[in-house]
Structure 1
Amino acid sequence: MAPVAMRTVAQSLSDALPVSYWLDDPGRPAPQPALTGDEHCDLLVIGGGYTGLWTALLAKERDPGRDVVLIESKEAGWAASGRNGGFCAASLTHGLANGIARWPAELPRLEELGARNLDAIEAAVARYGIECDFERTGEIDVATEPHQVEELKELHAEAERLGLGDGSVFLDQDEVRAEVDSPTFLGGVWDRDGVAMLHPARLAWGLKEACLGLGVRIYENTRGLELTSSGAGMAVRTPYGRVQARRVALGTNIFPSLVKRIRPYTVPVYDYALMTEPLTPEQLAAVGWKNRQGLGDSANQFHYFRITADNRILWGGYDAIYPYGGKLDSEYDHRPETYLKLAGHFFTCFPQLEGIRFSHAWGGAIDTCSRFSAFFGKAYSGKVAYAAGYTGLGVGSTRFGADVMLDLLAGERTERTELKMVRTKPMPFPPEPFKWTGIALTKWSLARADERSGHRNLWLKTLDRFGLGFDS
């Protein structure tokens, strides 16, 4: 990038607040008091993100008389649930291609369950009056290189062959630019019904309010420190007290699980996003976007972007940063060099928006696993259930994960618990330094593949053969 252009890019970030746009909201609710002393319940939910909130809500919907407690180490929705792009997808498999590669036999069933799950989210938003700017606009997968056009055509044709193409349409260059105008767009596939756009933090806050309304007792700023078996139930120690529960559901995302044996299955990958100031009517007309879809490009190192209710553009992705040792630290929440890179890519995509400024810049950790989609299980003789590894697609699929955990805790055989996806685990990550080396080599190889018309080197082909991988 030329120096003048770099100065322009840097200037666009000069007023950006280092906080998630979604969390920087005057409607952010006050936290619930911390737990002090002893508490007893039928079900204890640990984690106040989407997984935990959906679990508590569905538990009460299944059995209104069930006594449910939820504890959260900080505030509900403060981590990934309040920092993501707000893409609420029906897919439970991190997209069709990943589903075809990993669970081809049961993919039609997974797609059906995913569609039902998204319908249920939409119904819950309406039922509880959650004001989260829910818009079922769909998403366009965009090709920005010639080989990506062919790959999208092949995937769309495969979906139609499997009977899974309803609701999606292939767009040529003129058609995709008629939807959202960028000189970089060469084609795309528009999933018209399988993705909704929403305000992610307000969804979390709305779920919290709904839980409280159904009688869930929520304690924030209450970290679960230790999980032990206690007679017929479980005990969880907290900083100022203890909870005795018959059953425990863990929705702790990337944070170290209280069931230590599942920790090797996830790694934290830091993802970053920018939010523009609101577009003027002239700027909005220059890009089109009348149908307000979410978009993502088709590179290995991809960007995701969408327009908000107040006509800002969120622009995120591309850099996926794994800290050595899987360290979680707030210092990784911000990365100016990534913000500069993202801003430069933004103006390449939308040169007609030169001069627009970014109001917010932020990052956060994604719970990444080697198969890109959530895994589930039980511990302590079925008294504890967990769901983790959503790999950036948890806005929608966490509700499915909550249902799976409740099925497992009830000891029920259901259409969910019979799935191979639910009954199997991803490959765990190796210890350091092999983990860091493997992830770094994979990222380098993916970047090389983007530069070489999608050609995958021997390392990537080996990972493919063993069902492993890493995606930004």
Structure 2
Amino acid sequence: MTQPLWADGASATRATASDLPFSAEVVIVGGGYTGLWTAYYLLRERPGADVLVLEADHVGFGASGRNGGWVSALWPVSPDTLARHAGRAGAVAQLAALRDTVDEVGRVDAAEGVGSGFTKGGALVVARTPAQEERARASVAHSASWGGSTTWLDAGATRERLAVAVARGATFTPDCARVHPRRLVDGLAGAVRRLGGRIVDGARVTRTGDRVVVLADGRRVSAGAVIHATEGWSGTVSGQGRRVVPVYSLMLATEVIDDARWARIGLAGREVFSDHGHVVIYGQRTGDGRIAFGGRGAPYHWGSAIRPEFDHDEAVFGALRSILRDLLPQLDGVGFTHAWGGPLGIARDWHPSVTWDPVARIGGAGGYVGDGVAASNLAGRTLADLVLGRQSALTALPWVGHRSPRWEPEPLRWLGVNAGLRLAQAADREELSTGRPARLGWLLDRLTAH
């Protein structure tokens, strides 16, 4: 099927754009995780607040309903990069807040009866080549120096968790859970509605400013405060076109796997998994006994274009099937039932951010580089404090007020983003053939601002 696995059986109570009010105390543009978490915490902190969420399509239509379901403390820039701007204490605080956020998502899931299947089994990242092992071992030492809990597993311990065909070892972090992404977003929307928030689907916003939100059909909503929560779709709002670029990540799902085969595969602890390659891959054992597996590899499209046909790239799907079967030969004979994709948002310096202008009363968050399931919760709590005028440990975190450079105009943007993808692919091929860290690695790190 060409729709996300997560959409199977999904349903939600929806208000349409015909129900649009003339004004609201807080208008949130975007009905994904960032927007809904912000609405949820605003309503928890100020019961009865007039909060309106506007979604161009339906709740969870974007990355929130399509992602790999990793609720992780991963961060796309290194602690060293954070420390260069915020000092060591700031970097340590940011990383600690992310680890706490994983548990906060689980707490709300249980308290609100969200039913996302939140299971904190940790993340297993396999080293499959000598170069990957070198990088993995270095990451363990680096994590320890910043207060992290990543550990090294030897080849035997790795295969006890996930019986991959080739493993020199793996890193493991407990600070990660898996969820069913669409159930999380739909359950969160339900909680917002129960608290009195209004969510309107089919309300495509094209412009914001002067405490007014303007829809594609010309209707206007007056707003006491505006929050941009559009992530990869930010370019659809006037003035936001070069804030992030939409980069596609594609996924597929196997058919339901029988218990005997699972006994040969592993993931008994419901760990999510990846490897230490340069091209990102990610997978989880789903609640209904499939493997949902995805990765980068799809090209960036000229002008930051987003179109339904870009969700499907058979060459990338074919590569993902091959990679998964190489990892797990036990899947021989297992079919694939779903294949889908969608864009995520990447800032020019790969640095997620939370912004807030207390005078104009406009803010937002995003640029998560694919690590947004947990980070969006942290963003929502932080934005709630900012909108309510509170100074807190969250509003003091170094990503608050961070301003990423704008992406270059075309054709430089198209050339640069796609060059990064090609470099990552070339670096993996080089390491596979030589067994040594890729000479291209330094160039890739420089291009991605790491």
TM-score, normalised with respect to structure 2: 0.92
Counterpart Cα distance in 2 of 1:465 and 1:86: 29
- The answer (yes or no) to whether the contact 1:376–1:401 under 8 Å persists in 2 is yes
| 3-state secondary structure, aligned to 1:59 | helix
1:410-421 equivalences in 2 (<5 Å): 410-421=388-399
Alpha-carbon contact 1:268-1:368 (below 8 Å) kept: yes
Shift of 1:351: 1.2
Alignment of 1:225-304 (within 5 A): 225-229=206-210, 233-237=211-215, 239=217, 241-256=219-234, 260-304=238-282
Quick check: 1:446 aligned with 2:424? yes
Partner SS state of residue 386, structure 2: helix
| The 10-residue stretch of structure 1 (284-293 or 270-279) with the greater mean CA deviation from structure 2 | 284-293
| Identity, % of aligned positions | 27
Residue in structure 2 matched with residue 359 of structure 1 by the alignment? 337
Is residue 204 of structure 1 aligned with residue 195 of structure 2?
Answer: no
Distance 1:64 1:77 in 2: 24
TM-score by length of 1: 0.88
Q: Distance in 1 between matches of 2:283 and 2:448?
A: 28
Q: Corresponding residue for 1:175?
A: 157
- Tell me, what secondary structure is at the counterpart of 2:124? strand
* Counterpart pick for 1:149 among 118, 133, 145: 133
Indicate the SS of the match to 1:314.
strand
Query: Which residue of structure 2 aligns with residue 468 of structure 1?
Result: 449
The residue identity in structure 2 corresponding to 1:173 is A
Question: Could you tell me how far apart the structure 2 residues matched to 1:280 and 1:421 are?
Answer: 44
1:388, distance to aligned residue in structure 2 (A): 1.7
Measure the CA separation in 2 of the matches of 1:301 and 1:342. 11
Matches for 1:112-151 after TM superposition, within 5 Å: 112-151=96-135
The one-letter amino acid of 2:133's match is: V
Q: Distance in 2 between matches of 1:184 and 1:403?
A: 41
> Is the 8 Å Cα contact of residues 417 and 423 (structure 1) preserved in structure 2?
no
- How many Å separate the matches in 1 of 2:168 and 2:23? 58
Aligned residues: 441
- Letter paired with 2:153: L
Q: Distance in 1 between matches of 2:236 and 2:418?
A: 28
CA shift at 1:376, angstroms?
2.4
Structure 1 288/237 Cα, relative in aligned 2: closer, same or farther at 3 Å? closer
Q: Are the equivalent residues in 1 in contact too, given 2:297–2:421 (CA < 8 A)? A: no
CA contact (8 A) 2:56 2:205 kept: yes
> Which string of whole-angstrom CA distances, capped at 9 and with x for unpartnered residues, describes residues 18-76 of structure 1?
11000122x42243222446422211111100011111111101111311111111110
8 Å CA contact retained: 1:103, 1:421? no
3-state SS of paired residue (2:187): helix
Between the aligned partners of 1:333 and 1:163, the Cα distance in structure 2 is 38
Q: After TM superposition, list the pairs within 5 Å mapping 1:38-49 onto structure 2.
A: 38-49=21-32
1:20 is matched by which residue type in structure 2? P
On the 8 A contact 2:424/2:444 being kept in 1, the answer is no
Task: Supply the distance in 2 between the matched residues of 1:235 and 1:139 (Cα, whole angstroms).
Answer: 40
2:69 maps to a residue whose letter is: G
CA root-mean-square deviation: 2.1
Deviations for 1:321-343, whole angstroms, at most 9, x for unmatched residues?
21122111111011111111111
Determine the C-alpha separation between the residues in 2 that align with 1:372 and 1:153: 24
Judge which range, 31-40 or 263-272, deviates more. 31-40
1-side partners of 2:133 and 2:94: how far apart?
A: 26
CA distance in 1, matches of 2:442, 2:69: 32
Matched residue SS, 1:190? strand
Q: 2:350, 2:448 within 8 Å by CA — same for their partners in 1?
A: no
CA 1:365 to 1:215, structure 2 compared with 1: closer, same or farther past 3 Å?
same
Assess, with a 3 A threshold, how the Cα gap between structure 1 residues 325 and 31 changes in structure 2: closer, same or farther.
Answer: same
Mind listing any 5+ residue stretches in structure 2 that lack a counterpart?
Answer: 432-436
Letter of the 1:222 partner, please give it: A
Q: Is the 8 A contact 1:234 1:383 kept in 2?
A: no
Q: 1:401 to 1:243 in 2, by over 3 A?
A: same
